[in-house]
Amino acid sequence: MSDTVTETVYENPVVKGTAPDPSLIRVGDDFYLATSTFNFLPGVTIRHSTDLVNWRIIGGAITRPAQYRRDGKPGGLMLFAPTLRYAEGTFYLVCTNVADEQGNFVVSTTDPAGEWSDAVWIDTVAFDPSLLYDNGTWYYTRRTLAPRADGRLGPVVQAELNITTGELGELRELTQNYGGFVTNDIEGPHLYRIGYWYYLFSAEGGSWKGTCSRARGAVRRGGRSSPPRTTRF
């Protein structure tokens, strides 16, 4: 018997129009995509696909002030860089409302095409938050934006997160020298676990001269997870 390879032909962009900061997950045979919407409502567009080519809008995660304002009242809205995750039957979306220093928050749902929860607020520092669920623990990772006199903007930081209350453990630095691996501006960090390694992917240098840096750290012996010590490779 010979294996049959079927070639799929498609044309980019597979999502046309305004769809910045894409975050994609797979749940079973389904793919879900979240994209930034900045100051528009519904906020954070959610799309669905079964082939990664044909995408259909199924809703917006952010629809009411209780999801993007700390006081739950109408006000400034500017949603940056969502991260979509799934664990144990629930979808989670972490995002930032940079208007009026509202900060970073997470919303959740069991039906991504339906209503999402009110915001659980995490912190007010910087933006580009990301989540990793590993061995029953949630890890929260984000950039820092606290410029020093030497021009360095800050490291990627991480802490354990109580996904229900938003309470953070102690933040620790994943990158050294108060910056990135190759520039003083590191952003958009996303951490993944594959087998016995954690992988950290980040953008560096800004959109006008940017690069993607990669780093990895080993899982502790016995499979016990912890925030990794990352080394660029």
Per-residue confidence of the chain (233 residues) as pLDDT tens digits? 445 556 678 899 999 998 999 999 999 999 999 999 999 999 999 999 999 999 999 999 999 999 999 999 999 999 999 999 999 999 999 999 999 989 999 999 999 999 999 999 999 999 999 999 999 999 999 999 999 999 899 999 999 999 999 999 999 999 988 988 888 888 999 999 999 899 999 998 776 666 788 788 877 644 445 555 556 65
pTM: 0.91
pLDDT of residue 217: 80
Active-site annotation holds for 3: no
Of 3, 21, 118, 160, which residue is the catalytic one?
21
- Cβ atoms 68, 77 nearer than 8 A: yes
By C-alpha distance, which of 85, 41, 80, 83 is closest to 64? 41
pLDDT of residue 1: 45
Q: How many CB atoms lie within 10 A of CB 51?
A: 11
Both tokens of 69, joined, read: 């304002």
Of 128, 185, 187, 204, which residue is the catalytic one?
187
Pairwise CA distance, residues 104 & 181, whole Å = 24
pLDDT of residue 231: 60
Active-site annotation holds for 11: no
Pairwise CA distance, residues 94 & 128, whole Å = 9
pLDDT of residue 113: 98
- Cβ atoms 168, 122 nearer than 8 A: yes
Q: Which residues contact 5 (CB under 8 A, 6 or more apart)?
A: none
Both tokens of 67, joined, read: 């999801």
Cα(first)–Cα(last) distance of the chain, in Å? 40
Pairwise CA distance, residues 106 & 223, whole Å = 27
pLDDT of residue 53: 95
pLDDT of residue 205: 77
Pairwise CA distance, residues 16 & 131, whole Å = 27
In degrees and rounded to multiples of 5, residue 12 shows phi and psi of -85, 150
Question: What is the three-class DSSP state of 66?
Answer: helix
- Cβ atoms 47, 55 nearer than 8 A: yes
pLDDT of residue 163: 98
